[in-house]
Chains A and B, each alone.
Chain A
Amino acid sequence: MIKKSTPHESAWGHVTGQSEYVDDRPFQRGELLVGVIGSPTAAGELLKIDFTEALKVPGIVNCFSAKDLAHNRWGSIFHDQPLLVEREISHYQEPLGIMVGETEEALRLARKKVQIQIAEKKPVLTIDEAREKQMFLYRATDLHRGNVTEGLSQGPHRLKGKLRIDGQEHFYLESQAAIAYPLDGDRLEVHSSTQHPTETQHIIAEAVGLPYSKVVCTVKRLGGGFGGKESQAAPFAALAGFAAMKTKRPCRLVLTKDEDMVMTGKRHPFEIHYEVGFDDQGKILALRVELYSDGGAYVDLSPSILERAMFHIDGAYYIPHILVQGVSCKTNTHSNTAFRGFGGPQGTFVIESIIEDIGQTLQKDPAAIRLLNCYGKSDHNVTHYGQKVQPNPLPDLFSEILSSSDYKKRRAEITKFNQEQNGRLRGLSCTATKFGIAFTAKFLNQGNALVHIHRDATVQVSTGAIEMGQGVYTKVAQTVCQILGLEMTNVQVMPTSTDKNANTSPTAASSGADINCGATKIACEALKKRLAWVCHQLENQNPSAVGQEMSPPPIEFTADQYRFQNQTIENLKTGKIFRLPEIVEKAYLNRLSLSEYAHYRTEGIGFDKQKAIGTPFKYFTNGVAVTEVEVDECTGQSKVIRTDILMDLGRPQNPGIDRGQVVGAFVQAQGWVTTEYLHYDEKGILYSHSPTTYKIPNIQDTPRDLRVHLLENEYNSETFNGAKAVGEPPFLLGISVWTAIKNALAHRAKSNIVSLKSPATAERVLMELQRYE
């Protein structure tokens, strides 16, 4: 059952339009809308915000600014960010105040009447400027091994370089949304499109001035999250909650796509300075890297993102002497935040780019350089932070994909094709992902689950997991089914809610299924034991005991000899079969609990931040990709002709869903490195704030020929079901699109080292080609 590619539990709701999202909730009588007033400038001082005229607009119920809030600071790591600006404006469209009104029309009219006075300042918009002014949000502890200076001086070859990787908009289709319902007893129920209901609950409570226990945050599903709703859903939910408490009416805050894109944070832009030393074969001897991330206006999750980038700087490759330093800079842009990969993609990007350059320098195929430097199976298998890459399927993955994708043959064809000078250039590249699974903040690696068996033997299960398309609800339900022998139709995954599952971690770091299915398993195992005990009692009862009440199962009792399947329980030793509904009813009548709550913690992880050494990750999810692109030399536009992907996902829990994660992540990353360009002007105003101006891949952009394979019959001993986390790891394979473009350009670069930023927009590609003229 559990290995079956059962469809997404909401698939039928999706395709018939019945799946409900926050803004689909019918309006209650008296419900109000909340409009957010954003700052027109990226930096300055808010001298005055005056709602007098706005309040005169018919339909406007109230307006609020910073001074009205009970508490005006939030942040996942440091509480440095205001919900509403008090005095200092830190980025364009930063929320200054809110209006609460009866109709959209009233809000639209009132918006124009809010009087704002600002003393404008010159914004700091680039990493360079921030460095010059020493505007830093966080400096990470260095990661190092060996002696990098010595290592660099050993090598016959050295390359110094600078790499710029721009940000990326999440472009979840459902923008930030929350509805708050005031309840009696000074309570609030908030429905939010958030990946982190617990933190959202806390921030709402603080903004309103209530104890956490008075606030319930509920999440049915998200119309996409990708990290964009890990921390940044909470402030909008808090503003809705605050408005609801003040007006004593339900309040709905739903951003438009344009508002969402200008107000909320994105993937961190990075600038990386590096120096690499290597030998004549292309073996990397030493690497010195300084990473500068653009954290934007506030800390948010920037420290953890920077650290993950530093952990992933090695990609799939062993680097004997290495020094990695990282700083997160403060600029006057939206506060950058979590986004699928969480710094990992930016880190691995660096080494994959460097390897292309080494190939170009030595006139060798970069794939050969990758094989040469790949982590070994028995030696050269310890990362620069001391974690062993074990088991290590990377060498096998590389050799398998190079052969299954016909790499050698195609490499020769491409060389020939590019010599023909027909206005088109082709490039080919093979890259890898070795993604560390676990939150690097250790305390987040815990979760809980609540399972109820009802008297008709159907089950409700609640966990802290958020369903945002990735199929975690389906996997939770599959877990229940597998252990209790049920069909998917017997299991209902309940909306995630802080009154059932408190102190949960965000659904993030690809860990949603590992943690929440882990907790679900523990709860279900306890129920299984209890039900098996009922069977045991029934089978071993002497007739005179009939009518006596059963006792709870003794500790030493195990359910091992009972098989739960097809709503029956079979004693494998005696062959006796019981019907599950009857056993459930028996358990109830015998006053045995049919509910279970369980807590799960990920064991075996730990990282010493002082010494910068340890085991931050439970395991690695690995994969490789080979991508071929074609570049139009007239316009600089590129397209992906073919991509081969090979992933090791252990023994996938749901191959259909997991394959969707792999392809979806890859295409999302393809957009990141090609067409998704964020255009800011010199005042820090973002001009790409809708799909008209911000181009995510559409159906025509996906690789024309896409071949995805999952390694078969692998087993991951680090998880209870042998599966591996899948949400983020394949995102890093999208880098192969960028390196393939770089590879294509190398055919025209003559003696130049290809210098390309990410994304490789048509313009950047054409301008780079022009440089070789």
Chain B
Amino acid sequence: MRTQASILFYYNDTRVEVSDHRLLMPLAEFLRREVLLSGTKIVCSEGDCGACTVLVGYPEPNGKINYQSVNSCILPVFLLNGAHVITVEGVGTRENPHPVQKSMVEHFGSQCGYCTPGFITAMAGLAEQAIEEKKSIDAKKACHALTGNLCRCTGYEGIIQAATNLKLSPEHSLRKKYLNPSRDQELSQARQKSVNIELDTISIHLPVNLTEALELKKKHPDIRLVSGATDLSVLVNKGKQAYQKVLSLQQVQELHQIQKNKETVVVGSQVTIDQIENELVDVYPEFVRLLHIFASPQIKHRATLVGNVVNASPIADTIPFLMVTEAVICVEGLSGKRKIPICDFYLGYKKLNLNPDEIVTGIEIPKLQEDQKLRLYKASQRKDLDISSVTFAGILETQDKKISNLRLAFGGVGPTVIRLNQVEKKYIGQALTKETVQRLGEEVSGSINPLSDLRASKEYRYLLVKNFIHKFFDEISGGLA
């Protein structure tokens, strides 16, 4: 087994190997403090404002590097093995500017300038994709790509103008600017080697195959699995947790796959939300629609579906969907594999049905039957990029104007996401009428116990639950008598 005790990456044109305490730094801090590239700004340290956005590309199995915008304040350096990072300084200079920089200047896209580097890099990522696909950028696309960047000055008008008036041509490709076969190969090779680093009380592991990972997990049951680090890094930045033993599976290639079977889809543990949005739009259009407002592009480029599931937040946006589709969690230990229905996976607030030596390798999601109608709703203070007050997932099948199958799940109404099996059962066979839905609404309200917190009051949550039920039946039945 080839293993290395350092990680290798490039930022702009500079090659760097890191094997010391800097491994645990957020990339943003590394850039600002260690290599004096202070264009990248840190504002919130929690991946919610986008000021720290940089482009990061990892070599794919085919050797190609695709740049994606990420929040460098919550990306620890140790996850950069084999990566190429482009910062605002690397996008272009006054003398040799990138079209996004020119366009932002011309359209008054910056005022105080503090969020600007983040917008430049995110927009450069969008431009790179447009160059690649030879497509233009409309306002919808621009807004979507820039959802994760907050600006307090401009009201965004100039920024949207800038993004939709880019003068792009193939010579502006950042890939062309920075990559060449030997660099590609060097990065690919770095990624094919396991990384094992011991530093005082800290150990960092990036194995390249699952067996290696399972052995580590068996040996160190307390090792912390890190996927996109979009949640864990926030806790570390805010002093609520510290990295000790960490295990990343990002170099285990097979876990990056989405496998489409006849009846189910299996999503590997390293599959990002972004990948799902791109690859599963035909299978789960409703789920992909929800993912559009799930988080910022920067987060979706890093965060994984399995991460969202294992993190077990009671308001996780994906879990209600997985509950009503009756997804199965695939776990593996050295002693064997298990498949756990998601409804049996949560034992309490952030408590999982998982043995210390086991790793979640993926999630198997059944495809919808033709007459199963699925709806997913989310209410939050701000539509995009906000943590939900209440999330809802429902599947309904009807026969002869009667309910023949009903599955309901809610997030934000208790310590875990809940599936309402008891209530559902009672309504099978009942006539699909306004009165039924009214009763069902009351009954659902009776079986939940939401809390008041900073996002919503208890009363508001009750009301949302009721309204979602009504909306669900209304939408599917096309209006009830």
What's the minimum C-beta distance from B65 to chain A, rounded to whole angstroms?
22
Which residue of B41, B44, B143, B471 has the most chain A CB atoms within 10 A of its CB atom?
Answer: B44
A745 CB to closest chain B CB (Å) equals 15
In the complex, the answer to whether B112 meets A173 with C-beta atoms within 8 Å is yes
Contact of A699 among B41, B108, B120, B147 (CB under 8 A): B147
- A-chain residues with CB within 8 Å of residue B156 when the two chains form the complex: 663, 667, 697-699, 702
Is A695 located at the chain interface by the 8 A CB criterion? yes
* Cα-based distance from A770 to B463 in the complex (angstroms): 9
* Residue A13 at the chain B interface, CB threshold 8 Å: yes
Interface size on B, residues (CB 8 A): 81
Question: Is the pair A762, B381 in contact by a Cβ cutoff of 8 Å?
Answer: yes
The distance in angstroms between the C-alpha atoms of A17 and B91, with both chains bound, is: 10
Provide the residues of chain A in CB contact with B92, threshold 8 Å: 16
Among B110, B152, B238, max chain A CB count under 10 A is at: B152
Tell whether, in the assembled complex, residue A15 and residue B384 are in contact, meaning their CB atoms are under 8 Å apart. no
Q: Mark A357-400, 1 if CB is under 8 A from B, else 0.
A: 00000000000000000000000000000000000000000000
Cβ–Cβ < 8 Å partners of A708 in chain B: 157
Give B13 Cβ to nearest chain A Cβ, in Å: 15
Residues of chain A within 8 A (CB-CB) of B143 are 699-700
A660 within 8 A of partner (CB): yes
A330 contacts partner chain B, Cβ-Cβ < 8 Å: no
Q: Does A290 contact B (CB under 8 A)?
A: no
A665–B157 Cα distance when bound, in Å, is 12
What is the 8 Å Cβ interface bit string for chain A, positions 699-710, against chain B (1 contact, 0 not)?
A: 111100010100
Residue of B nearest to A171 (CB): B152
Does B101 contact A24, Cβ atoms closer than 8 Å?
Answer: no
Kindly list chain A residues whose C-beta atoms are within 8 Å of the C-beta of B41.
21, 173-174, 223
Which residue of B147, B152, B155, B382 has the most chain A CB atoms within 10 A of its CB atom? B155
Contact check, B106 vs A698: say whether CB atoms are below 8 A apart. Answer: no
Binds A, one of B31-39, B258-266, B354-362: B31-39
Name B379's contact: one of A223, A663, A762 (CB within 8 Å): A762
Interface flag for B430 (CB, 8 Å):
no
Which residue from A7, A15, A108 sits with its C-beta under 8 Å from B120?
A15
With a cutoff of 8 Å between Cβ atoms, the chain A residues found around residue B379 in the complex are 634-637, 762
Q: Of B218-226, B248-256, B453-461, which binds chain A?
A: B453-461
Interface residues of B in 149-177 (CB under 8 A from A): 149-160
| Residue of B116, B238, B377, B379 with most partner-chain A CB within 10 A | B116
- Indicate if the CB atoms of A11 and B43 lie closer than 8 Å: no
> Which residue, A470, A668, A697, has most C-beta atoms of chain B within 10 A?
A697
A224 partner residues in chain B, CB cutoff 8 A: 112, 114, 152-153
A257 close to B43 (CB less than 8 A): yes
How many residue pairs, one in A and one in B, have C-beta atoms under 8 Å apart? Answer: 241
B residues 97-125 in Cβ contact with A at 8 Å: 97, 100-101, 104-106, 108-117, 120
| B128 at the A interface (CB under 8 A) | no
Tell me if B40 counts as interface (CB < 8 A to partner A): yes
Interface residue A304 (Cβ < 8 Å from any Cβ of B): no
Please tell me if A498 contacts chain B, counting CB pairs below 8 Å: no
- What is the chain A residue whose CB lies nearest that of B234? A692
Whether the pair A766, B153 counts as a contact (CB closer than 8 A) is: no
Assess A8 versus B160: contact at CB under 8 Å? Given A175-B43, A677-B381: no
The distance in angstroms between the C-alpha atoms of A679 and B453, with both chains bound, is 9
B94 is an interface residue with CB less than 8 A from chain A: yes
CB–CB A634/B116 < 8 A? no
B120 to chain A, nearest CB (A): 5
Chain A 4-40 interface 0/1 with B at a Cβ cutoff of 8 Å (1 = within): 0101101111111111110110110000000000000
B89, A16: Cβ atoms under 8 Å? Answer: yes
CB distance from A239 to the nearest CB of B (A): 21
B38 touches A660 (CB 8 A): no
B108, B115, B238, B463 interface centre (most CB from chain A within 10 Å): B108
Determine if A320 is an interface residue (Cβ-Cβ < 8 Å). no
A691, B150: Cβ atoms closer than 8 Å: yes
| Contact of B49 with A by CB under 8 A | yes
Instruction: Kindly list chain A residues whose C-beta atoms are within 8 Å of the C-beta of B155.
Output: 660, 663-668, 697, 702
Q: Is B87 an interface residue (CB 8 A)?
A: yes
A145 to chain B, nearest CB (A): 36
The answer to whether A637 touches B383 (Cβ under 8 A) is: yes
Partner of B108, one of A7, A170, A687: A7
Measured in the bound complex, the distance between the Cα atoms of B114 and A170 in whole Å is 14
Q: Give Cα A185 to B246, complex, Å.
A: 52
Q: Does A258 contact B (CB under 8 A)?
A: yes
**Which residues of A have CB within 8 Å of B326?**
none
CA distance A286 to B238 in the complex (A): 53
Question: Does A763 reach chain B (CB closer than 8 Å)?
Answer: yes
A691: which of B44, B114, B456, B467 is its contact (CB, 8 Å)?
B44
> Does B45 sit within 8 A of A, measured CB to CB?
yes
Q: Does A101 contact B (CB under 8 A)?
A: no
Say yes or no for B48: interface residue by CB 8 A criterion. Answer: yes
Residue A262 CB within 8 A of the other chain? no
CB-CB contacts of B38-61 with A at 8 A, as 1s and 0s? 111101111011010000000000
Question: In this assembly, does B334 line the interface, its C-beta being within 8 Å of a C-beta of chain A?
Answer: no
Chain A residues positioned under 8 Å from B91 (CB to CB):
16
Q: Which residue of A lies closest to B88 (CB)?
A: A17
B186-194, B385-393, B435-443: which lies at the interface: B385-393
| Cβ contact within 8 Å between A174 and B44 | no
Using Cβ atoms and an 8 Å threshold, which residues of chain B touch A633?
Answer: 467
Complex-state Cα separation, A14 to B41, whole angstroms:
11
B111 near A8 with CB under 8 A, answer yes
Q: Are B150 and A14 in contact (CB under 8 A)?
A: no
Contact: A16 with B48, CB < 8 Å? no
Are B146 and A173 touching (Cβ within 8 A)? Answer: no
Residue of A nearest to B475 (CB): A423
B149 pairs with A699, CB closer than 8 A: yes
Contact B389–A8 (Cβ < 8 Å)? no
User: Please, how many angstroms separate the alpha-carbon atoms of A173 and B113 in the complex?
Assistant: 9
Q: Chain A contacts of B105 at CB under 8 A?
A: 7-8, 11-12, 15
Q: Is the CB of A8 within 8 A of B108?
A: yes
A-B pairs with beta carbons under 8 Å apart, 28 shown: A10-B110, A12-B94, A15-B100, A15-B109, A15-B120, A16-B101, A17-B39, A23-B38, A173-B114, A221-B112, A222-B112, A257-B49, A423-B471, A468-B112, A470-B111, A634-B377, A634-B468, A635-B377, A635-B379, A636-B379, A663-B157, A664-B111, A665-B155, A687-B454, A695-B382, A700-B143, A763-B457, A766-B464
Closest A-B pairs by Cβ, 6 of them: A17-B39, A469-B112, A223-B114, A469-B111, A14-B113, A667-B155
Partner-B contacts on A (CB < 8 A): 5, 7-8, 10-21, 23-24, 26-27, 108, 170-175, 221-226, 256-258, 423, 468-471, 633-637, 639, 656-657, 659-660, 663-668, 675, 677, 679, 687-688, 690-693, 695-702, 706, 708, 761-763, 766-767, 770
A635-B377, A763-B381 given; name 7 further pairs at CB < 8 Å: A16-B88, A469-B112, A471-B111, A675-B382, A695-B386, A699-B159, A702-B155
Which of B's residues lie within 8 Å of A, judged by CB?
Answer: 32-33, 36-41, 43-46, 48-49, 51, 87-89, 91-94, 97, 100-101, 104-106, 108-117, 120, 143, 146-147, 149-160, 238-239, 377, 379-387, 389, 453-457, 459-460, 463-464, 467-468, 470-471, 474
